[in-house]
Every structure is written in C-alpha cells, then in structure tokens.
C-alpha cells in the first residue's frame, strides 16, 4: 500500500508511527495529492471528534509549510489537510527570519516533519509592495527581505509592475527563501543533506487553486 493510500484510509489524526514510516519524498507526494483532491473537489474528511481526540494526545505533522498571510491562500484547505497534518507558518511574502527558522527547526528536528514547503502565490501584495519600493512602518524591514528577489527583474523590465513581472518575482522569492533556509539554518541544511527532509518551493495560483511545485 502506498503512503498516499494509507493516509486516505486514516480515521484519526496522524500519529508518530505513520509519520516515521514516511520518507521526505512521501511528504511531498502527500502535499501534491492533497492539492489534486482540492482541485477535483474530492476532499477526504475525517471525523472531527476523532481528530481532536488524537490531537489531544500529541502531534506528528508530515510537513511544514511556510506561506503568505494572504486570505486567498488557505493552506490546510488547498492541500486537503486535516487537524494535525501540517505545521503552518505564515508571514507576508512568505519570507524568513530567525523566528521562522527556529519554528521550522522545531517542526523537523523535534517534531519529525519530513518536508518544508515554501509556498508563494500569484498576485502577492507583499511582492507588489516591494516592487513599488514601499516604505511604511514595520513593513519597511519586512519588504527589504523580499527586495533581493525583485531588484534584478525590476531593473530588467522597468518600474511598471506587470503581472508577468510580479509572477517572476514571486518565483524568485520562493527560490531565494529556500536558499536562505539552507544557508541560515545548519540544522535544516544537515537534515536535508542526510535525506531526512526536503526543502522545496511551490507557487499557488489564487485564480485556479493549482499549486505548482518547484522540485
């Protein structure tokens, strides 16, 4: 039986035995199959009380997703995930800082998650703000973290933020955040080098619901 089939047959929340049986590739496959179900409107729902009872006994999420705060990108829903399936960190522009890195280290090293997915999305307001060189309050520092993904593209195509330019910046930001995770966290870099986890990127299309993985 595949791990996807085993997941679909669960009647309760994920437990440690199920999580330990997964490889890093299995975790990515679970995310991909979840989005397929979301797109086809064939979501699989487990009994809420059974999920809550299992969650009260502990957690063993199979992956951690770093996404944007955008209200159009409901992370658990678009991966057809249930209570206890995923760690989710959300910050405008799905960027990374020490707190996010620490959270991801906890998710993988101490709680056993097998994958980190950096999830950008089309029409990202944080990327648009960065492109426009917005400076305002605490947004200034946040958008500066996204600026490296924008500078070259803005220089190439000009200051008008076309949809294509923004989409290219979104993809570049996802790739750079994946690189920063590896560079700035020796814990996660070493776990990935051993094959214990995968650090991957993806783009969510807010118009279609499709997640395109960058593996």
Total structural domains within the chain:
1
Sheet hosting strand 198-204, strand order edge to edge = 86-90, 63-67, 115-121, 198-204, 211-214
Q: What is the pTM of this model?
A: 0.96
What's the rounded Cα separation, in Å, for the pair 76 and 13?
Answer: 14
107: containing domain: 3-214
Nearest to 65 by CA among 51, 46, 50, 78: 78
Nearest to 132 by CA among 89, 161, 110: 161
For residue 152, the model assigns a pLDDT of 92
The CATH number linked to 84 is: 3.40.1050.10
Residue 18 belongs to what H/E stretch? helix 16-21
Contact 170, 127 (CB under 8 A): yes
Q: What is the pLDDT of residues 57-114, one digit of tens each?
A: 999 999 999 999 999 999 999 999 999 999 999 999 999 999 999 999 999 999 999 9
């Amino acid at each position: 039986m595949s791990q996807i089939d085993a997941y679909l047959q669960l009647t309760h929340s994920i437990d440690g035995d199920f999580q330990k049986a997964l490889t890093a590739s299995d975790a990515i496959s679970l995310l991909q199959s979840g989005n397929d179900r979301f797109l086809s409107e064939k979501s699989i729902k487990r009994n809420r009380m059974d999920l809550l009872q299992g969650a009260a006994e502990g957690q063993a999420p199979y992956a951690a997703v770093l996404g944007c705060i955008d209200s159009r990108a409901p992370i658990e829903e678009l991966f057809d995930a249930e209570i206890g399936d995923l760690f989710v960190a959300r910050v405008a522009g799905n960027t990374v800082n020490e707190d996010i890195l620490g959270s991801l280290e906890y998710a993988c090293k101490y709680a056993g998650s097998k994958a980190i997915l950096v999830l950008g999305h089309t029409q990202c307001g944080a990327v648009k703000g960065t492109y426009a060189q917005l400076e305002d309050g605490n947004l200034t520092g946040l958008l500066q973290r996204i600026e490296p993904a924008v500078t070259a593209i803005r220089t190439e195509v000009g200051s008008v933020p076309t949809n294509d330019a923004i989409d290219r910046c979104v993809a570049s930001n996802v790739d750079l955040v994946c690189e920063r995770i590896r560079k700035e966290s020796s814990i996660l870099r070493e776990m990935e080098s051993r094959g214990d986890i995968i650090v991957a990127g993806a783009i969510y299309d807010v118009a279609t619901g499709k997640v395109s993985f960058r593996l």
